[in-house]
Amino acid sequence: MPERLIDRIDALAGRIVGRITGAMTNAMTVARKNTLKSTDRPLKLLRNRPPDPQQLALQLDLFSPDNATQRTDADPQAPGTTPNGAATSPTPSIIPPLHLQHDAPLPGSRRILLGQHALSYQLRRSKRRTIGFMIDDDGLRITAPKWVGVGEIENAIREKQRWILAKLHEQRERATRRLRPQMQWRDGGVLPYLGTDVTLRVVAAAVDAMVHDPESHTLTVCLPAEASEQQLKDRVQAWLQREAKTLFAARLPIYAEKLDVQYRAFALSSATTQWGSCTADGKIRLNWRLMHFAPPLIDYVIAHELSHLREMNHGPRFWATVQSVFPEFVAAKKALRDHAPETLPAF
C-alpha cells in the first residue's frame, strides 16, 4: 500500500514538473519573439537610403528667383552637374576667392573644407525626403531628412560646391552694395547715370542751367547760393526725367519694329516695384530711374514691355518672344534683380 502511494505521488510530481517546464519554455519563446520585433523596428527607420540626385538638383533651382524661367532659358541644372545630377570634372572658376570661415561661427554650425575654402553651414533636420540648400545673409543652411548621415550630406555639398560658392559670392555682393554709403547731394557727389558715375559740380549762380559733359563725366548744376539740398535733388531728378523721355522715345520704335507691334503711347513711371508696364491697348509706362542703368538694361525693359503686345503673360511663348529681339535677356534680368532699391540715389 505505501509503495503504490509513493508511485502515484512520483507520477503526479512528474506531470506537474513537465507542465511547469512547458509553460516556462513557451513564455521564453514569446518573450524572445517580442524582443526581436522591438529591435527590428528602429533598424527599419535607421536605414541609410541615398537621396534622389534629380530631386536634389531641383531643390537647388527652387531657391533662385524666377526659377522656372531660369531652368527654361538659362542653364537647366546647377553648375557642376550633368542633367542626371552627376558631378562633372572641375572647370576653371571665374569666382573671386571667398573668405567663408567666420571668426565666430554661429551656434550649432558645422564646417567643411572645400579645397582652400573653410565653409560653415547650418544643418537642420526635418521630415522632408530630400536635401535642401538655402543661402541667405547668414550663409548656407541645409535641411535634410533625419535618416541621412552627415557624411552623405557633405558629399552632396562637395558635388554642388561650385553652385554654392557662386551663390554665396552673389549674396555677399548684394550685401556689400547695401552697405555702401548713400549718395551725397553736394558738390562732388557721384550720380549713377547710364551705367557710369557722373560727378556733380554745383555752381552758385543766378542762371538756371545744367550742363552734362560726357567726356569728363560731370554734371554741372547752377543753383542760387542759398539753395537747399532738396532743390539740388529736384533739379537733378527733372534732368533725369527729361533725358529718360528722349532716350525712351528713341529706343521704343526700334524694338516695336523688330517685334512688328504698335504701341499707342508711352509715359514715365515713378513706381517703386516695377521697371515698366504694358496695357492690352498698347500703353507703355517706363520707370525714369532706369536712367541709372547701362543702356542694354534699358533696352531689355523696353523689349520686355513691347513683347507683351504679342503675349500678355509671362509664359514660355512670351520669353521666346523677348529672346527673339534681345538674346541676352537672362543676364539683363538678373542684373536688374540684383540691384537693390536702397543702392539707388534717394530723391
State the Cα–Cα distance between residues 109 and 228, nearest whole angstrom. Answer: 51
Question: What cell does 257 get?
Answer: 519694329
Please give the order of strands across the beta sheet that includes 190-193: 190-193, 196-204, 218-223, 210-213
Q: Do 169 and 67 fall within a single domain?
A: yes
Q: Is the pTM of this model over 0.85?
A: no
Q: Both ends of the chain: CA-CA distance in Å?
A: 125
Query: Is the Cα dihedral 96, 101, 106, 107 positive or negative?
Result: positive
The number of distinct structural domains making up the chain is 2
- What pLDDT does 64 receive? 33
List phi, psi (to 5°) of 265: -165, 165
Q: Do 157 and 267 fall within a single domain?
A: no
Domain end point (choices 179, 203, 237): 179
Q: Tell me the sheet residues that pair with 178.
A: none
Q: Tell me the sheet residues that pair with 114.
A: 117
List phi, psi (to 5°) of 87: -75, 140
Question: What cell does 67 get?
Answer: 526659377
Range of the domain at 57: 53-179
At residue 264's C-alpha, the angle toward residues 301 and 309, to 5°, is 50
Q: Do 161 and 275 fall within a single domain?
A: no
Q: Tell me the sheet residues that pair with 120.
A: 111
Q: Tell me the sheet residues that pair with 122.
A: 109, 141
In-domain check, residue 17: no
Query: Residues, the chain, total?
Result: 347
Q: Do 171 and 238 fall within a single domain?
A: no
Domain end point (choices 114, 149, 179): 179
- What pLDDT does 55 receive? 33
Q: Do 81 and 175 fall within a single domain?
A: yes
At residue 287's C-alpha, the angle toward residues 281 and 291, to 5°, is 135
- What pLDDT does 114 receive? 81
Q: Residue 307 class from Cβ within 10 Å (0-12 exposed, 13-18 middle, 19+ buried)?
A: buried
Residue that the C-alpha cell 518573450 belongs to: 31
In-domain check, residue 214: no
Residue pLDDT tens, the chain, 347 long: 556 655 666 666 666 656 666 666 565 555 444 444 433 433 232 333 333 333 333 222 222 333 333 322 323 233 333 333 333 333 333 333 444 444 445 556 888 888 777 888 888 888 878 888 888 777 888 888 988 888 898 898 889 888 888 888 777 766 665 555 678 889 999 999 999 999 999 999 888 889 999 999 999 999 998 889 999 999 999 999 999 999 999 999 999 999 999 999 999 999 888 899 999 999 999 999 999 999 999 999 999 999 999 999 999 999 999 999 999 999 899 888 877 666 788 88
Specify the CATH number for the domain of residue 303: 3.30.2010.10
In-domain check, residue 205: no
In-domain check, residue 58: yes
In-domain check, residue 26: no
Q: Do 58 and 117 fall within a single domain?
A: yes
Q: Tell me the sheet residues that pair with 126.
A: 145
In-domain check, residue 109: yes
**3-class DSSP assignment, residue 316:** helix
